[in-house]
Structure 1
Amino acid sequence: MTNYPYMVSNNKISQIFDTLNTAAKPDKFTNNVLHNLGYRSTNDRAFITLLKKLNFLNSDSSPTSNYDYLKDSTKSKKIIANQIRELYSEMFSINENMNDASDDEIKGAISRITGKEEKDVKRIFSTFKMLCNYADFSDAKIIDNNGDSESQSEQISPFQQPSLGINTTPETSKLTTDFHYNIQIHLPATTDVTVYNAIFKSIKENLL
């Protein structure tokens, strides 16, 4: 069974994320770091586990490459949405818009996936809802554990990689490659028109 994280004091989730946006990036995100940021309750420590599950911290509490996005106010909520989709992938496989699903549907999915008792389901649900309410799903992308992104829409997002000439179409979902060659011909400086005629004749016979 899947084991989703939760915070008892989940009402602080958005507040802590806002704090991280302006706080210095630590070498390791420890309880002392959280304490120095002003979150001193023992219940607040569960936020560190949440950051690990969302792949913002490694197992040793050092920041991952995704953590840097939390420092950018224009992208932080989008990266959080990405990581929510990654962490709760089983739930989003049931409903790709699980973040907008009804409370009953969300709780039902959590119960089936985790097999937890009602008390834990409610806590997981509350944490999930607080995360989703804070995140921006308007143009979410899936970012893997190495920080690479894969587009889920045709819209350009801050995480989309530049095009390499490989086009995708929603009708076929197949990859096609088109190669275009630009040939430059430097003509010699001459007043003899027969030279030009010979060059263009050769192009026609050999290239066209």
Structure 2
Amino acid sequence: MALMTAYLLKTSNLGEFFNAIQSARAPERFTQQFLKDLDFRSSNDRLLVGVLKGLGFIDDSGVPQQRYFEFLDQSNSGRVLAEAIEEAYSDLFNLRKDAQNMEIAQVKGKFKSLTQGQKSDNVINNMAATFSALCEQADWSKPSKAKEAKKESVSKENEAANQAPHKSPDSSQLKEELADAEKKLELHYNIQLILPNSRDQAVFDALFTSLKKHLL
């Protein structure tokens, strides 16, 4: 299941947290101590590390990943975060491609369904609030890299199809088709011959001789 279950108990300082990350030098490992060095010392702030892991910013051991470094570029950080959210909550975006615009009550309902009722209402509420807060920090004005790649792939396929030469059947193929058609065109004639009431053998010989000459 591709649905991030990490959540925050407090989301009001999420923007400050992301700003702090961008202002600081990337650590070798993102630890609780580094979080304190960023001046996030509350016990609730410790949950921020889990959210970073869920978004693919750091791995399970806290080592920053490529997405973390891309996020440091403030000119593109909003788009990077949007892509991370789409990936972390892909099950939700599969249900609705603009899930970032859903009302929080709708998000709660979808989360409850996607987790098959295994999460308590408090957890679902916190998950939905975290998702909503993350979406507010992201930039949704540009298509994601995945969508751009898919669009480009479809465009190239259409272009290749339009440029592909239309092959005409060769002469041997045409000859075979004509031969098959001729075999199917068979004519059958039913000829009825009314014989005269005569015992003269010469009359019958003349009739059959004429039949052979003109029809056979």
1:44 equivalent in structure 2 = 45
Aligned counterparts of 1:75 and 1:121: Cα–Cα separation in 2: 30
Displacement of 1:86 after TM fit?
0.3
Equivalent residue, structure 1, for 2:154: 168
* Inter-partner Cα distance in structure 1 for 2:62 and 2:6: 16
Q: 3-state SS of the aligned residue for 1:56?
A: coil
1:70 matched to 2:81? The reply is: no
Match of 1:126? Answer: 129
Q: Which runs of 5+ in 1 are unaligned?
A: 143-148, 155-165, 179-208
Assess if the C-alpha contact under 8 Å between 2:57 and 2:68 holds in 1: yes
Q: CA separation in 1, counterparts of 2:72 and 2:62? A: 17
Query: Of the two, which has the highest radius of gyration?
Result: 2
In the alignment, does 2:31 pair up with 1:34?
no
CA shift digits 1:98-120 (9 cap, x unpaired): 10012221111111012222111
Which amino acid in structure 2 is aligned with residue 42 of structure 1?
Answer: S
C-alpha distance in structure 2 between counterparts of 1:111 and 1:140, whole Å: 28
| Cα RMSD for the two superposed structures | 2.4
Distance in 1 of aligned mates of 2:139 and 2:150: 15
Cα separation, 1, equivalents of 2:101 and 2:149? 17
How many residue pairs were aligned? 159
Higher helix share: 2
SS at match of 1:151: helix
| Structure 1 residues 64 and 87, CA gap change in structure 2 (3 angstroms) | same
- Stretch of structure 1 that moved more, 101-110 or 72-81: 101-110
Q: How many angstroms apart in 2 are the aligned matches of 1:3 and 1:86?
A: 9
Distance 2:64 2:52 in 1: 9
* 3-state DSSP of counterpart to 1:10: coil
Contact 1:78–1:135 under 8 Å retained in 2: yes
Deviation at 1:77, TM superposition (A): 1.0
Q: Which one has the bigger strand percentage?
A: 1
CA shift for structure 1 position 168: 3.0
Partner of 1:27, secondary structure, is: coil
Determine if contact 1:140/1:152 at 8 Å carries over to the other structure. Answer: no
1:63-142 residue pairs with structure 2 within 5 A? 63-114=64-115, 115=117, 116-141=119-144
